[in-house]
Chains A and B, each alone.
Chain A
């Protein structure tokens, strides 16, 4: 039996792996994708100390290389379930193989939240996107809208404004949640137009997206705008279906300050956890705490 299984190879999982291996724990890290972490979809990360500006994919490759250099075994496997059994935790993988460990750290992260409006699923990949870094080049000289007012929304509006003809920034409030630095950059771009107090009600088209139906929240009036792309950034939904522990109503795992979940031996770290801030730096911090507490738990178990 392994001492510890870490599920997820984003900043939280990698940090947990580095700490765990240094504690001498027999550790196994499982990551579904080739490059973990939502941050790998960011074109530029400017708030992780030590890197004044780095591409998200590059940052994650740096994390991974560090972990591998000190002997964290990273396996490319998906996980379908986690269940406590007597004195151990059983992790089921997508290859129908069960792996057992004394403790488990859930660092499965989150995914972009959907708006849940008509047309959103129909036109996914045909004009609807959740990743400007991936898809912006397909919108050269086209008009697009970006929905949301946080850092990701504004960062991606900036990426799009470099290639698109026009970017409509649609936000349900009259001010942004994004950092001042990003807001100032967006406001200085001539082809970004802010549509305040506005929500997206429907994505329309034929084979591809052709227009968006918007509602002005002040007047309640509907208007249709001709665009070819819709980029949605309205928060995140945690990847926590695989585990039955205490969660909040959105599915984020509830932990104490030691990253302990409601089930003994199971810890949670990073974006899958209910947290006041979801950032690379807080995810890494969560991972370190989780590994330290898992080490204590495993050692006390003998």
Chain B
């Protein structure tokens, strides 16, 4: 199953839209979904692992798929 991880930050104004997008898709499509706060320990680990320098960041199956708010159609394509 496709695994999607969304990294977000409390201070980021684009993040609520990215969260909404992925939560909506998660209710319609079948994939594993996880949200990670960049301020959490696990979030910090993911940032170092991928060398991320921006949020929201979407990691799909171990690859950085989107930085910023993903385009809905592209997001659907990436999980189907």
Contacts and interface: CB of A to CB of B under 8 A. Distances in A.
Interface in A73-122: 76, 78, 94
> Interface residues of A toward B: which range?
20 to 34
Given A33-B69, A78-B72, A125-B52, A41 B13 contact: yes
B67 interface: yes
A71 interface: no
Contacts of B67: 124-126
Contacts of A63: none
B16 A125 contact: no
Contacts of B9: 134, 137
A129 B54 contact: yes
A151 interface: no
Interface string A14-30: 00000000000000000
Contact of A125 (B17, B38, B68): B68
B53 A34 contact: no
A144 B13 CA distance: 22
A133 B55 CA distance: 10
Interface in B41-68: 47, 51-55, 57, 64, 67-68
Contacts of A138: 47, 52-54
B1 interface: no
Which secondary structure dominates chain B's binding surface? loop
A242 to B, nearest CB: 14
A56 B68 CA distance: 18
28 contacts: A32-B17, A33-B14, A33-B16, A34-B16, A41-B13, A56-B13, A76-B20, A78-B72, A124-B67, A124-B68, A125-B52, A125-B53, A125-B64, A126-B53, A127-B53, A131-B14, A133-B11, A134-B12, A134-B14, A134-B54, A134-B55, A135-B53, A137-B11, A137-B38, A138-B52, A138-B54, A208-B53, A229-B53
Interface of A: 32-35, 40-41, 56-57, 76, 78, 94, 124-127, 129, 131, 133-135, 137-139, 207-208, 229
